[in-house]
């Protein structure tokens, strides 16, 4: 039996809803056929945006969506995607298969998509092949509330009122596809670009948990530009990769990938510690604006389109990662899973007029009540498994989770990573509170289970009977499961 202790009197911090953010890049069929089908499509749409996708995403409550990349961002010129669609230029997408980008989906279309699903837009500007003036004018086009030429152009494109884009990234992966900068050279470029951006400005952080990149960036920023303050976020990327393939893996590989995902906690703790040395008041938020699994692409698809299936194993990776962010709500201000539709660890898969929500999408819908709650301290006493990995054996707790409070409601999420065995868990409440009933749901199945266009509801959350009374109660978590408990507090 495991024990999960929740101390409702020990508040970690507010769970920023942006931790539950998404990422949508012009890559494969994420945008075209995923979000955008065009106004003349027989697929039901609102101004060209798929209605079924909007309805599914609204249930997940995405607070923010990052766009247009990814690597695509540093070869994207925003003026290609505004104005009459029939006169927009056709460009080659050099990063993702050298397909022709029609630019039918641009600034106005993306903002409308965000408004339809209830998300804030997060734009990533072009540093690698762009210019400072280009980003500065994109900000003015989007946000200026006045009578400038660019504001008039925005109005002519259909938006007399400002688009109010809050979040602006200065480049993407500038250590790689965004220009192959050193941390110091990127820092100088960042300062130059950010000088002309009004909004929440986000700098490119490291690939994975590269503490050296972070230290060198902030050392340069403080040494040469001590008074520079226009930096609000610093964004790392972490892909835990794969073990086996998207749908074919052994039990050992099931554990291996979940363990790789759990390394996110190390990244969060160590990156924030490195930033604290230069930003002890935490005015600059730690962001993880690309993360997720990355499997070999599905056979028969274009290898540069990064299309992969999504199983219960991906759901466990998503759930355990979100629990890490919740537990460290004092350290993380935004995270954006890669990606929203048809690419990597997607929420949704589409094929023509068919659409299916993936197990990962189910997790996001189940975890949505955590948004804007107060994260409270949790501890776990669980059986651990020895997982064999490339860098030696790793101990992994079978049970993990997080908890948050809103008013008189406690929301607890728990995962059982054991591939074969159910586990009884004592949920113990500290802080002078007691459970007074509630509701629960669980997502579970055979470890390879996934949804297909022919069987779209193989994996999904179902009601779960739990007697939630008193300061201690027991829940029996099925093998390979994610559970969400909404508990009334007395």
| Cis upstream peptide for 68 (omega within 30°) | yes
Residue range 441-482, pLDDT digits in tens: 999 999 999 999 999 999 999 999 999 999 999 999 999 999
Domain 376-489 top-level CATH class: mainly beta
For 443, counting Cβ atoms within 10 Å of its Cβ (0-12 exposed, 13-18 middle, 19+ buried), the class is buried
Rounded to an integer, the average pLDDT of 33-50 is: 98
Provide the pairing of β-strand 64-67 with 21-23. parallel
pLDDT at 16: 98
For residues 384 and 357, give the distance between their C-alpha atoms in angstroms, rounded to a whole number.
31
Tokens (6 digits) for 66: 């990052």
- Rounded CA separation 67/25 (Å): 6
The yes-or-no answer to whether 14-372 and 376-489 have a common fold is no
Residue 479: how many CB atoms within 10 A of its CB? Answer: 17
User: What are the E-state strand segments in 162-224?
Assistant: 167-170, 200-207
Distance of CA 410 to the CA centre of its chain: 24
* Domain positions in the chain: 14-372, 376-489
- For all residues of the chain together, what is the average pLDDT? 96
Please state, for a pLDDT cut of 70, what percent of the chain lies above it: 99
Count CB neighbours of 81 within 10 A: 23
Q: Model confidence over 203-230: pLDDT tens digits?
A: 999 999 999 999 999 999 999 888 788 9
pTM (whole model) above 0.95: yes
Q: In a 3-state reduction of DSSP, which class is residue 54?
A: helix
* pLDDT confidence of residue 453: 97
Q: Which residue bears the tokens 């999420």?
A: 413
- Which are the catalytic amino acids? 173, 290
Which uninterrupted H or E stretch holds 485? strand 481-489
Neighbours of 432 (CB within 10 A): 10
Q: What is the mean pLDDT of residues 161-166?
A: 97
Across 105-157, the runs of DSSP E, i.e. the strands, are: 120-125
Cis peptide before 433 (omega within 30 of 0): no
Q: Which two tokens stand for residue 18?
A: 């942006």
The distance of Cα 177 from the centroid of its chain, to the nearest Å, equals 20
Beta bridge partners of 136: none
pLDDT at 387 over 90: no
Task: Return the minimum-mean-pLDDT range out of 160-164, 375-379, 393-397.
Answer: 393-397
* 61-81 confidence digits (pLDDT tens): 999 999 999 999 999 999 999
CA distance 66 to 233: 14
Q: In CATH, what is the architecture of 14-372?
A: Alpha-Beta Barrel (3.20)
pLDDT at position 331 is: 98
Q: What is the per-residue pLDDT for 386?
A: 85
> Please, are residues 21 and 63 in contact by the beta-carbon 8 Å criterion?
yes
- The owner of tokens 């596809």 is 177
């Amino acid at each position: 039996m495991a024990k999960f202790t929740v101390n409702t009197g020990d508040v970690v911090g507010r769970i920023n809803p942006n931790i539950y953010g998404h990422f949508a890049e012009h890559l494969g069929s994420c945008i075209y056929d995923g979000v955008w089908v065009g106004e003349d499509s027989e697929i039901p749409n609102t101004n060209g945006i798929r209605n079924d996708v909007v309805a599914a995403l609204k249930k997940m409550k995405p607070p923010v969506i990052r766009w247009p990349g990814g690597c695509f961002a540093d070869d994207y010129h925003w003026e290609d995607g505004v104005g009459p669609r029939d006169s927009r230029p056709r460009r080659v997408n050099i990063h993702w298969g050298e397909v022709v980008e029609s630019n039918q989906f641009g600034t106005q279309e993306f903002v409308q998509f965000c408004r339809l699903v209830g998300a804030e837009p997060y734009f990533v500007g072009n540093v690698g092949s762009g210019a400072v003036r280009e980003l500065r004018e994109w900000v003015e086009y989007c946000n200026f509330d006045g009578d400038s030429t660019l504001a008039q152009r925005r109005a002519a494109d259909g938006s007399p009122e400002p688009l109010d884009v809050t979040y602006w990234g200065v480049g993407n992966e500038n250590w790689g596809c965004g220009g192959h900068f050193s941390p110091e050279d990127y820092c100088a470029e960042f300062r130059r670009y950010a000088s002309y951006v009004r909004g929440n400005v986000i700098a490119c952080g490291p690939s994975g948990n590269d503490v050296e990149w972070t230290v060198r960036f902030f050392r340069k920023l403080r040494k040469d530009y001590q008074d520079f303050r226009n930096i609000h976020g610093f964004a790392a990327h972490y892909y835990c990769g794969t073990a086996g393939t998207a749908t074919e893996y052994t039990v050992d590989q099931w554990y291996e990938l979940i363990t790789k995902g759990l390394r996110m906690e190390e990244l969060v703790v160590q990156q924030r510690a490195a930033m604290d040395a230069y930003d002890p008041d935490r005015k600059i938020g730690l962001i993880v604006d690309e993360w997720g699994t990355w499997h070999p692409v599905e056979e028969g698809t274009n290898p540069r389109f990064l299309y992969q299936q999504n199983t219960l194993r991906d759901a466990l990776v998503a759930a355990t990662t979100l629990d890490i962010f919740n537990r460290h709500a004092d350290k993380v201000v935004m995270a954006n899973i890669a990606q929203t539709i048809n690419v990597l660890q997607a929420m949704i898969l589409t094929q023509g007029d068919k659409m299916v929500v993936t197990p990962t999408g189910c997790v996001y819908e189940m975890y949505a009540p955590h948004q804007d709650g107060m994260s409270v301290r949790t501890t776990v006493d669980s059986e651990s498994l020895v997982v064999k990995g490339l860098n030696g054996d790793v101990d992994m707790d079978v049970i993990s989770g997080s908890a948050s409070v809103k008013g008189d409601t406690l929301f607890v999420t728990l995962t059982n990573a054991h591939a074969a065995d159910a586990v009884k868990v004592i949920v113990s409440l500290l802080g002078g509170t007691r459970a007074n009933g509630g509701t629960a749901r669980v997502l579970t199945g055979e470890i390879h289970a996934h949804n297909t266009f022919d069987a779209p509801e193989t994996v999904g959350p179902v009601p779960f009977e739990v007697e939630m009374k008193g300061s201690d109660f027991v829940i029996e978590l099925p093998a390979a499961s994610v559970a969400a408990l909404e508990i009334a507090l007395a």
